[in-house]
Amino acid sequence: MRFTPHVTVATIVENDGLFLMVEEQANQRIVLNQPAGHLEADEGLIQAAIRETLEETGWEVEPFAVVGIYLYTAPSNGVTYQRVCFAAKPRRHHPERQLDDGIVGPCWMTREQLLGEAERWRSELVLRCIDDYLSGHRHPLSLIR
Contact 9, 49 (CB under 8 A): yes
Quick: pLDDT tens for 28-74: 899 999 999 999 999 999 999 999 999 999 999 999 999 999 999 98
Do strands 80-93 and 6-15 pair parallel, antiparallel, or not at all (unpaired)? parallel
Q: What is the pTM of this model?
A: 0.94
Three-state DSSP at 83 gives: strand
Domains of the chain, first to last: 6-143 (3.90.79.10)
